[in-house]
């Protein structure tokens, strides 16, 4: 097949022809005018409730992980501070102490080690967030079933789309007001 100058063979082309039983132009959760059907309203409400519960579980688990590993993070921070103090590094504001007694190579290695420790701390905190979300998703899925996660995703998408549209509308109003 040749589309716009690109050639595809049938084995490597991804094709999607809908879902079994799907009717073209028929929506289960939305009327033609964009309003929600009863099923759509119910799905949105469920998604909102599940989302609130998931977020509470997520935050609780993330806090638990951070508390359980606080000593590890504190030890890493102290190690970074010792390196900075030893080599006269002040990574926060770009200043520093007396670095003249160290070679450029030693300072480079110390700075790299310092930043590597902070990168490791950030990676740990990101991991706690991911683990918290996985825990919350698993708990919601176990309690309400697989469809609960798609209801949450739908609710989040609708909420984010509405926020984006409001932002864009607001930007238009700001642009209009500034031209007057």
Q: Residue 129 — very low, low, confident or very high, per pLDDT cuts 50/70/90?
A: very high
Q: What pLDDT was estimated at residue 60?
A: 96
Q: What pLDDT was estimated at residue 25?
A: 65
Judged against a pLDDT cut of 60, whether residue 83 lies above it is answered with yes
Looking at per-residue pLDDT, the higher value among 116 and 160 belongs to 116
Residues 84-101 pLDDT 10s: 888 887 655 555 666 778
Q: Residue 141 — very low, low, confident or very high, per pLDDT cuts 50/70/90?
A: very high
Phi and psi, residue 3, nearest 5°: -120, 120
Q: What pLDDT was estimated at residue 125?
A: 93
Q: Residue 157 — very low, low, confident or very high, per pLDDT cuts 50/70/90?
A: confident
Q: Which H or E run contains 6?
A: strand 6-7
CA nearest to 86, candidates 94, 72, 74, 98: 98
Tell me the percentage of the chain whose pLDDT exceeds 90: 44
Residues 16-39 pLDDT 10s: 666 677 677 666 788 888 788 888
Among the ranges given (14-28, 67-81, 93-107, 125-139), the one the predictor scored with the smallest mean pLDDT: 14-28
What Å distances lie between residue 103 and 36, 85, 108, 162, CA to CA? 68, 16, 9, 56
Tell me the percentage of the chain whose pLDDT exceeds 70: 76
DSSP 8-class letter at 30: B
CA nearest to 155, candidates 165, 167, 144, 147: 147
Q: Per-residue DSSP letters for 83-137?
A: HHHHHTB-TTTS-BS--TTS-HHHHHHHHHHHHHHHHHHHHHHHHHHHHHHHHHH
Q: At what angle do helices 38-68 and 147-179 cross, to 10 degrees?
A: 100
Q: What pLDDT was estimated at residue 170?
A: 73
Looking at per-residue pLDDT, the higher value among 65 and 36 belongs to 65
């Amino acid at each position: 097949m040749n589309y716009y100058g690109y050639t595809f063979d049938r084995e490597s082309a991804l094709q999607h022809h809908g879902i079994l039983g799907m009717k073209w132009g028929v929506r289960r959760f939305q009327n033609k005018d964009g309003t929600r059907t009863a099923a759509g309203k119910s799905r949105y409400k469920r998604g909102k409730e599940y989302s609130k519960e998931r977020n509470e579980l997520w935050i609780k688990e993330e806090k638990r992980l951070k508390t359980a590993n606080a000593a590890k993070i504190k030890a890493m921070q102290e190690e970074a501070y010792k390196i900075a103090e030893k080599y006269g590094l002040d990574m926060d504001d770009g200043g520093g102490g007396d670095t003249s007694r160290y070679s450029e190579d030693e300072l480079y290695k110390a700075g790299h080690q310092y930043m590597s420790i902070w990168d490791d701390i950030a990676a740990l905190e990101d991991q706690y967030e991911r683990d918290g979300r996985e825990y919350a998703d698993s708990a919601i899925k176990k309690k309400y079933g697989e469809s609960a996660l798609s209801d949450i995703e739908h609710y989040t998408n609708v909420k984010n789309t509405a926020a984006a549209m409001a932002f864009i509308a607001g930007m238009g109003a700001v642009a209009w007001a500034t031209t007057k």
